């Protein structure tokens, strides 16, 4: 009996194994599925290289008014001693403006870079057999011409009778030149940005005028730096330009503003904006 059961048990095991092998023999392995998203292949994007210009940058001539033994206007203390001079302020303004213009890609030439006159050593440059202020002015415009400047800005500080309250900005241009329209536009831009620069500091300066330089002289003479050729100005400037009078050194409030480097910086930024706007209009 025991042997019968052993044989029967063995038979059942063999039968079960046969059935299992039959069930698995035709099976095919199923690949593992993943839920990870496929990383897209980035295609190179075609780019256009920036167009490089070979044009020379514009050249701006800055003329710091006065210098050396020519103080220009001044502010005087209670002891009637000068405590602020136009010649120093015009140089500070010009140097600050030159820095900003160079950072913007312009070439800059200064008619003086120190406390000297431009006609140094003194020479008779206009051929009138004299050496005086006119020769210094001739030296300045000659330098602007020789540097082939595209634009000229002469920087000055205004003055009046102390205590009369006069203040603000004036800008002058010459209408008696072939580039009158450019002169006028540049003068307007300088005036506009000068007033705006002080407004940004919280000071509302008077916008006095932008005017033809003939209004300055009762005899109808142009400003030497900007007028057409004459017997005493045999060579005139070859480029558009303007002369700006920035605030009044005889006005105590404005004199104190001019002592502040923030004012110098703001005005230099205003001049730079005006010059940039001018060349945006006149590209040649």
Question: What pLDDT shows up at residue 55?
Answer: 53
Q: Using the structure block, give the residue that is written with the tokens 């042997």.
A: 3
Q: Using the structure block, give the residue that is written with the tokens 């006028």.
A: 184
How much is the pTM?
0.79
Question: What pLDDT shows up at residue 83?
Answer: 95
Indicate the helix (H) or strand (E) that contains 10.
helix 2-25
**Rounded Cα–Cα distance for residues 159 and 75 (Å):** 9
Phi/psi for 263 (5° steps) reads: -70, -45
Q: What is the pLDDT along the chain (284 residues), one digit of tens a residue?
A: 433 333 344 443 444 444 433 444 443 333 333 333 333 333 333 333 222 233 569 999 999 999 999 999 999 999 999 999 999 999 999 999 999 999 999 999 999 999 999 999 999 999 999 999 999 999 999 999 999 999 999 999 999 999 899 999 999 999 999 999 999 999 999 999 999 999 999 999 999 999 999 998 878 899 999 999 998 898 999 999 999 999 999 999 999 999 999 999 999 999 999 999 999 999 86
Question: What pLDDT shows up at residue 56?
Answer: 67
Helix, strand, or coil (residue 60): strand
Question: What pLDDT shows up at residue 27?
Answer: 38
**Rounded Cα–Cα distance for residues 118 and 245 (Å):** 20
**Rounded Cα–Cα distance for residues 87 and 66 (Å):** 5
Kindly report, residue by residue over 5-20, the tens digit of the pLDDT. 333 444 434 444 444 3
Domain covering 59-281 in this structure, CATH number: 3.40.630.40
**Rounded Cα–Cα distance for residues 111 and 245 (Å):** 17
Question: What pLDDT shows up at residue 43?
Answer: 34
CA Rg value for the chain: 40
Domain-wise residue ranges, the chain: 59-281
Task: Tell me the angle at which helices 261-281 and 180-199 cross, rounded to the nearest 10 degrees.
Answer: 140
Task: Tell me the angle at which helices 252-259 and 261-281 cross, rounded to the nearest 10 degrees.
Answer: 80
Beta bridge partners of 212: 173
């Amino acid at each position: 009996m025991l042997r019968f059961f052993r044989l029967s048990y063995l038979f059942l095991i063999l039968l079960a194994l046969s059935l299992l092998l039959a069930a698995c023999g035709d099976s095919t392995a199923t690949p593992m599925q993943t839920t990870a998203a496929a990383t897209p292949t980035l295609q190179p994007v075609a780019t256009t290289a920036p167009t490089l210009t070979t044009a020379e940058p514009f050249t701006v001539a800055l003329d710091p008014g006065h210098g050396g033994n020519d103080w220009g206007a001044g502010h005087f203390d209670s002891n009637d001693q000068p405590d602020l001079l136009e010649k120093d302020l015009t140089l500070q303004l010009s140097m600050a403006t030159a820095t900003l213009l160079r950072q913007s890609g312009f070439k800059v030439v200064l008619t003086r870079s120190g406390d000297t006159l431009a006609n140094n050593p003194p020479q008779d440059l206009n051929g009138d057999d004299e050496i005086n202020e006119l020769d210094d002015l001739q030296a300045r415009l000659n330098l602007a011409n020789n540097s082939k400047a595209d634009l000229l800005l002469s920087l000055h500080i205004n003055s009046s009778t102390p205590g009369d309250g006069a203040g603000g900005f004036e800008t002058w241009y010459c209408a008696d030149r072939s580039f009158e329209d450019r002169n006028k536009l540049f003068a307007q831009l300088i005036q506009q940005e000068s007033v705006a620069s002080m407004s940004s500091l919280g000071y509302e300066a008077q916008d006095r005028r932008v005017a033809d330089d003939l209004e300055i002289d009762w005899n109808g003479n142009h400003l030497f730096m900007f007028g057409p050729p004459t017997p005493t100005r045999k060579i005139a400037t070859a480029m558009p330009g303007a002369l700006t009078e920035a605030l009044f050194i005889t006005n105590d409030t404005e004199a104190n503003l001019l002592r502040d480097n923030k004012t110098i910086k703001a005005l230099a930024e205003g001049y730079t904006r005006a010059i940039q706007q001018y060349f945006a209009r006149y590209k040649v």
